[in-house]
Structure 1
Amino acid sequence: MTDEELFRKVKEIIHDNMEKASEDDSPAYHYTRPAPERYPYQFFWDTCFHVFILVSLGEIEMAKKHIQSLLGLQREDGFIGHMIYWDRLKPGRWADFFQSKFNYKNLYRSHMSSLIQPPLLAQAVSRIVKNSDNLNFLKEVLPNLKAYYDWLDKNRDFDGNGLLTIISPFESGMDWKPTYDVPLGFKEGKANTKLYYKVIWTDFLNFMNNYNLKKIYRKGHFLVKDAGLNTFYAQNLFCLGELCEMLEDPDAKEYYSRAKEVSKNIVEVLYDEQDAAFYDVYGKENIKIKVETPTIFYPLILSSIPKGIKTKVLERHFFSSEKFDTNYPIPSVAKDSSAFNPKESIYIWRGPTWIVNNWFLHQILEKNNYTESSQKLTRIIIQLIKKSGFREYYNPFTGEGYGAKDFTWAGLVLDMMNTKDKSIN
């Protein structure tokens, strides 16, 4: 497979997986399914990934339609759910039922979940704007963006330090991430049905509390500040400030200020100096969860993180340690973790390689002038796709493809192949 053939295959998958409303449908929708059979809905952060891919393909107008679709059911208070069920009577999986407030009307109309996902929306819009000829699209969507990030600030910053708290393992986008075993009270390492029901029970409790966030916080069943999600949040607040500046919107200062606050507290709350790692924390006491997953690296993308910390984290965990060293990096948890399982399983994010982690680590290496390492990572991912196709995730040792086929996220390799630094802040 040549680079040109890779480009054509990504374009083919994106278009084959696309879903759009008929002329009679209201509201209208236009989005890409990550995988038609397994993931038929419009997902929040998947849509943002699809925008990055579409822009890489030169499909700017299509990317705009994806964002407009994502904003189509946005509530007046700014909230956007992590899944949008367009033109569907009910969720496809029974467990998804508990991820939305109950409303009998949702049984026969398009609706959203009540959970969030990593807030990459501002970066997705920025990618479109910076590859467009005018600012009309930005003028159209900026009020929606501001409302969304204001909702996050008002409703998920429970501690008043700028950091967002997730209330379900599904909110980080990395379902079954081993760090969540700790707040869930799962101590067996290797995933099993006990873990499954603990996760479903968490969503059920949120459902029974009718997604009343004040009540959920007060009861404190599952409260996690995820290093990955909060890194995306900081990035996108900086990005939102930049977008506001483009339109001479005075709120730019407010979003820059919030971004700096989040970045500062990522270091103060999540960074462990002794271990040189950014850990997820849980509970109202912000207890560090000392499980090494790729998100220990994520904050290194932020310009405000001291250079000494960046060097220390990369040297100890990426360049010198064997914990993440595999033929096809980077595994979704360190190899010495009791949760590590490199093979196919319904309990994903517990060992296999995901291209999204490599996509983000590639940006980190590029931004911190590890160009040779970033290019090597890109070559490995291209080899992985050529070997096993466009799959959901892969065995980090053999490269065997697992999960959904024709999975769109693999298309992020096009963004990796464009080595221009696209990160904000």
Structure 2
Amino acid sequence: MLSDEEIRAGVREVLYKNMISGRKAGFNYHYTKPSPGTYPFQYFWDTCFHVFTLTALGEVDMAKKHLHSLFEMQRPDGFVGHMSYWKRLWPAPFTDLLQLRPRDVLQLYKPHMSALIQPPVAAQAVLRIYQHSQDFSFVKQLLPKLRKYYKWLAQNRDFEGEGLLSIITPFESGMDWKASYDPLLKYSKGKAGPLLFWKVLQVDAHNFLKGYNLPRIYKSNKFVVKDAAFNTIYAQNLEAMAALCRIAGEGDGGHFMELAKQTERSILRYMYEEEDAAFYDLYGPHFKKLRVRTGTIFFPVVLKSVPDEVCRRVLERHLLQKDGFHVPFPVPSLAVDEPAFNPNGSLYIWRGPTWVVFNWFLQGYLLEKGYQQEAQELLNSVKRLISKSGFREYYDPFTGEGHGAEEFTWSGLVVDMINRQRNGFENG
């Protein structure tokens, strides 16, 4: 297995190889491509992951440039799209055209953003930079942009006023072909195939034809989902916003903390299924559970307001006792006994393979709660995957074989895991 220093050197090399900067039409951009050929644009939550990786490598100034670039094209109302197109005249796949506002299709010769959102990790990314730099001026620069962004989310995606944000296409969750969406898409064939592609494409076409008018999209209720992972991240970042407001000496931190508490209460009330000891995604205005055991059934355990008893039940049943998630290389993105499970490389991702981000997300919580050995096991699994198959988009949970994009930056989160594990033992 590669040493920690060999892994750190490899992560640094991949990040710098994929990094790009420049100026276009009055905008300055500086970002890292998740993968040179497969994912060449600036993506919202990928950029935030790059911040966690860069700060773990000590590259704080580089991390700052990434976040400035992410908010460079922010709309006056606060919106930031899930993809920023800086250099290319046309988006690569034709399907990306459906993810633009109709008016923006005519502006493709300029830098532009998609009409979609992604998990809102930006406040945590800014807070991480402050924790590593104590750069008060950076917080003061970014906080007005963050405040507008999270205000836009609350006003435009919390349709029912319960503190839960809705996504309007599978592509907004960041987990594009997630199997929990299949029942809503009326896809019952289990393993993914071309029919699923067209069903998802119809959702984007529907949104495009609605002009991305959110009230109209909500009323039509074709795809309105409250994703467990998305909303867990939202709650975490509302708390991060409260912390940033306190750091900046600005008085609205209490507002963001109240929003966070509301979101956390709703996650526990609506998403948790006691019988299954799992947190499920919801759909529609009546919050119906999508009872498919994806890897995100764990996510809300990281929230401080979720009772310890609930957290223990979820972890012991699914992670520690391996109910449905018992594989040599955890954590699979879907329980192995779900009909849609497919551990192999495929166009239809997030339906079985292991992604480093799941291990990264859970490791922090396990360390915080004293599960040192379990956290170490998640880290060791990632190190074995990278040693065996390199920095890949995802991995076969049984063999460790790498699939998907190559030189993929998300796997670089391993350096943050290494740092956290070391600090966790020192502080334990």
Please confirm whether the aligned pair reaches a TM-score higher than 0.5, indicating the same fold: yes
Shift of 1:315: 1.0
Matched to 2:26, the amino acid is S
Match of 1:121 in 2: 122
- How far apart in 1 are the matches of 2:355 and 2:374? 18
Structure 1 position 406 matched with structure 2 position 425? no
Matched to 1:42, the amino acid is Q
CA displacement 1:115-153 (0-9 Å, x = unmatched): 000000000000101111430000111000000000000
Match of 1:358 in 2: 359
- How far apart in 1 are the matches of 2:343 and 2:149? 36
- How far apart in 1 are the matches of 2:364 and 2:115? 31
Match of 2:265 in 1: 264
Determine helix, strand or coil for the equivalent of 1:359.
helix
Structure 1 position 57 matched with structure 2 position 57? yes
Structure 1 position 91 matched with structure 2 position 91? yes
Alignment of 1:17-416 (within 5 A): 17-22=18-23, 26-103=26-103, 104-416=105-417
- How far apart in 2 are the matches of 1:322 and 1:165? 29
Match of 2:6 in 1: 5
- How far apart in 1 are the matches of 2:28 and 2:42? 13
- How far apart in 1 are the matches of 2:315 and 2:281? 18
- How far apart in 1 are the matches of 2:153 and 2:369? 29
Matched to 1:197, the amino acid is W
- How far apart in 2 are the matches of 1:234 and 1:322? 27
The two structures have a TM-score, normalised by structure 1, of 0.97
Indicate conservation of the 8 Å contact 2:25/2:111, yes or no. no
- How far apart in 1 are the matches of 2:143 and 2:356? 30
CA displacement 1:39-61 (0-9 Å, x = unmatched): 00000000000000000111111
Shift of 1:229: 0.2
Most deviating of 225-234 and 83-92: 83-92
Determine helix, strand or coil for the equivalent of 1:351.
coil
- How far apart in 1 are the matches of 2:320 and 2:134? 41
- How far apart in 2 are the matches of 1:318 and 1:131? 31
- How far apart in 2 are the matches of 1:123 and 1:197? 35
Determine helix, strand or coil for the equivalent of 2:393.
strand
Most deviating of 364-373 and 172-181: 364-373
- How far apart in 1 are the matches of 2:251 and 2:201? 43
CA displacement 1:356-391 (0-9 Å, x = unmatched): 111111122122221110011101110110011000
- How far apart in 2 are the matches of 1:138 and 1:364? 25
Matched to 2:398, the amino acid is F
Indicate conservation of the 8 Å contact 1:164/1:230, yes or no. yes
Matched to 1:321, the amino acid is K
Matched to 2:95, the amino acid is A
CA displacement 1:70-119 (0-9 Å, x = unmatched): 00000000000000001221110011110010234422000000000000
Determine helix, strand or coil for the equivalent of 2:132.
coil
- How far apart in 2 are the matches of 1:230 and 1:287? 16
- How far apart in 2 are the matches of 1:309 and 1:146? 32
Matched to 1:186, the amino acid is Y
- How far apart in 1 are the matches of 2:211 and 2:405? 32
Indicate conservation of the 8 Å contact 2:4/2:418, yes or no. no
Determine helix, strand or coil for the equivalent of 2:219.
helix
Determine helix, strand or coil for the equivalent of 1:403.
strand
Extract unaligned runs of 5+ from structure 2.
none
Shift of 1:320: 1.8
- How far apart in 1 are the matches of 2:134 and 2:256? 25
Indicate conservation of the 8 Å contact 1:31/1:66, yes or no. yes
Tell me how many residue pairs correspond in the alignment. Answer: 420
- How far apart in 2 are the matches of 1:57 and 1:146? 28
Matched to 2:247, the amino acid is M
- How far apart in 1 are the matches of 2:35 and 2:252? 38
- How far apart in 2 are the matches of 1:171 and 1:231? 14
- How far apart in 2 are the matches of 1:233 and 1:322? 27
Shift of 1:26: 2.1
- How far apart in 2 are the matches of 1:350 and 1:389? 21
Indicate conservation of the 8 Å contact 1:331/1:353, yes or no. yes
Indicate conservation of the 8 Å contact 1:89/1:106, yes or no. no
- Identical-pair percentage: 50
Determine helix, strand or coil for the equivalent of 1:336.
coil
The two structures have a TM-score, normalised by structure 2, of 0.97
Runs of 4+ in 1 over 6 A off after TM superposition: none
Q: CA RMSD in A?
A: 1.0
Extract unaligned runs of 5+ from structure 1.
none
Indicate conservation of the 8 Å contact 1:227/1:296, yes or no. yes
Indicate conservation of the 8 Å contact 2:25/2:110, yes or no. no
Determine helix, strand or coil for the equivalent of 1:210.
coil
Indicate conservation of the 8 Å contact 1:35/1:406, yes or no. yes
Matched to 1:64, the amino acid is K
- How far apart in 2 are the matches of 1:87 and 1:405? 22
Indicate conservation of the 8 Å contact 1:90/1:106, yes or no. no
